[in-house]
């Protein structure tokens, strides 16, 4: 694991603290989740939910997850055999990859990819095969022929993250169909990271892979409370999949963490049942913040790509006269008092992402406004 060293988030967040910069790097909200849900967690501790919960997760949460899947997506998962509570989506991805891959197997992921994927695949001694997302008409997408060519006899799974961090792309039904056809033809499992499932904009709808024909039986569907309810510190996620797949993932999970923390599970169960209205308001608020940041970044001289979901905006830095995002983000605190993330660190082919920089907009309006004011120094505008 030497190659994985310190993550870019640790480096950039430390830089933000050292220099007193505004941190639009790491994607965590600077406001809290729904108050009644927070109270539920406090209440759960007072009421004695303080010992090991069952390995698969507390029945209250598994039932709430199952009902939520049925209500939002028309998907039926048996709360006792087909739902597993995990320590965030991060553990869900790691346990899924470890459960499903033998050493030497290949896992396809779309680059730029969420950084834990490469580490999880390395822990399984499997190999990540990256298929590149490129902007076409202002939106990151993949070339179906390139995806098809990436499949080999060793391919075991395709990791699909939609809505996609860090590009903000929400895969269309057509794009998902291309992936689904390959999974069926080549007998692959789809591991789907859907942590931004509720955070889509402009009326764009999130389509879960498991709703496509023939896919429920070969999809490991992963979600998390962190992004949905603005409680990224709670690290409460879940896996929904057919029973044999859940059993395999749980077999690994029990030796990673055994179980997830009890108070959050009860609070999230409450959130899924009672706070989806709050989530709709969060989504609308985030769309306004996206527009606010996009407008500001354009005015500051960046070329801005419009995301349809997530917390993030991608910018092309070349109009400002810069070529390398890593170099620029390391200097950005001194140049403008702002921290951002160089997108190239999420690629295997770093040169393909060299000119992109990611900014997070899940921040208070006044924080976004101040960051934009500072960034205007870059072009002297
Ligand atoms: C934030 C994030 C995660 C991590 O979720 P946790 O529930 O905090 O583990 C996983 N995948 C993506 C794409 C994310 O943005």
How many CB atoms lie under 10 A from the CB of residue 89?
Answer: 25
Write out pLDDT tens, residues 285-296: 999 999 999 999
Q: Which residue has the tokens 């998907």?
A: 75
Q: Which residue has the tokens 């590149």?
A: 132
How many CB atoms lie under 10 A from the CB of residue 118?
Answer: 19
What is the CA(109)–ligand 1 centre distance, in A?
15
State both tokens at 335: 């140049």
Q: Whose CA is closest to 239, among 189, 192, 275?
A: 192
Q: How confident is the model at residue 381 (pLDDT cuts 50, 70, 90)?
A: low
CA torsion 302→308→310→311, rounded to 10°?
30
State both tokens at 278: 């709050």
- Measured from CB, residues less than 6 Å from any atom of ligand 1 are 88-90, 114, 161, 165, 193, 195, 224, 226-227, 232, 235, 237
State both tokens at 283: 């989504």
What is the CA(203)–ligand 1 centre distance, in A?
23
What is the CA(60)–ligand 1 centre distance, in A?
23
State both tokens at 226: 């962190």
Which atom of ligand 1 lies nearest, measured to the CA of 93? 10
Provide the mean pLDDT of the chain. Answer: 97
Classified as helix, coil or strand, 355 is: coil
Write out pLDDT tens, residues 220-278: 999 999 999 999 999 999 999 999 999 999 999 999 999 999 999 999 999 999 999 99
What is the CA(309)–ligand 1 centre distance, in A?
14
Write out pLDDT tens, residues 338-351: 999 999 999 999 99
What is the CA(195)–ligand 1 centre distance, in A?
6
Instruction: Compute φ and ψ for 286, nearest 5 degrees.
Output: -65, -35
Average pLDDT over residues 144-150: 98
- Give the helix/strand (H/E) hosting 128: strand 127-132
Cβ(49)–Cβ(262) below 8 Å: yes
Pocket test for ligand 1, best of 26, 90, 362 (most atoms within 8 A of CB): 90
Cβ(219)–Cβ(206) below 8 Å: no
Which atom of ligand 1 lies nearest, measured to the CA of 310? 15
End-to-end C-alpha distance for the chain, whole angstroms:
44
Between 182 and 6, residue with greater pLDDT: 182
Average pLDDT over residues 361-380: 95
Q: Longest C-alpha distance within the chain, in Å?
A: 60
Q: How far is CA 305 from CA 8, 9, 55, 72, 109, in A?
A: 22, 22, 42, 29, 21
Q: Quick check: 54 pLDDT over 60?
A: yes
């Amino acid at each position: 694991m030497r190659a994985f060293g310190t993550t870019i988030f640790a480096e950039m967040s430390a830089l933000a603290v050292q220099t007193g910069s505004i941190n639009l790097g790491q994607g965590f909200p600077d406001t809290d989740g729904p108050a009644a849900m927070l109270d539920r967690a406090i209440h759960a501790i007072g009421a004695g939910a303080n010992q090991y919960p069952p390995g698969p997760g507390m029945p209250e949460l598994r039932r709430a997850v199952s009902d939520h899947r049925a209500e939002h997506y028309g998907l039926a998962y048996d709360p006792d055999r087909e739902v597993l509570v995990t320590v965030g989506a991060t553990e869900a991805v790691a346990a899924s990859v470890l459960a499903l891959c033998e050493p030497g197997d290949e896992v396809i992921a779309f680059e730029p990819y969420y950084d834990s994927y490469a580490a999880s695949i390395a822990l399984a001694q499997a190999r990540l095969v990256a298929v590149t997302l490129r902007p076409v008409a202002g939106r990151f997408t993949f070339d179906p022929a390139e995806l098809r060519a990436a499949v080999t006899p060793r391919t075991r799974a395709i990791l699909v993250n939609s809505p996609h961090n860090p590009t903000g792309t929400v895969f269309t039904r057509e794009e998902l169909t291309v992936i689904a056809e390959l999974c069926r033809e080549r007998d692959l499992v789809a591991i789907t990271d859907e942590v931004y499932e509720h955070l889509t904009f402009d009326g764009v709808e999130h389509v879960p892979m498991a709703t496509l024909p023939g896919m429920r039986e070969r999809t490991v569907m992963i979600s998390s409370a962190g992004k949905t309810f603005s409680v990224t510190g709670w690290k409460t996620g879940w896996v929904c999949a057919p029973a044999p797949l859940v059993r395999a993932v749980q077999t690994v999970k029990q030796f990673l963490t055994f179980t997830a923390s009890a108070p959050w599970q009860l609070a999230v169960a409450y959130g899924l049942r009672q706070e989806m209205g709050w989530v709709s308001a969060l989504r609308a608020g985030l769309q306004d913040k996206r527009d606010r940041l996009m407008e500001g970044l354009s005015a500051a001289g960046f070329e801005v790509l419009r995301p349809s979901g997530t917390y993030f905006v991608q910018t092309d830095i070349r109009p400002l006269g810069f070529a390398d995002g890593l170099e620029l983000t390391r200097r950005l605190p001194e140049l403008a008092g702002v921290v951002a993330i160089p997108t190239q660190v999420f690629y295997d082919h770093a040169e393909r992402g060299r000119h992109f920089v990611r900014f997070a907009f899940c921040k208070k309006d006044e924080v976004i406004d101040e960051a934009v004011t500072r960034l205007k120094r870059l072009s002297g505008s």
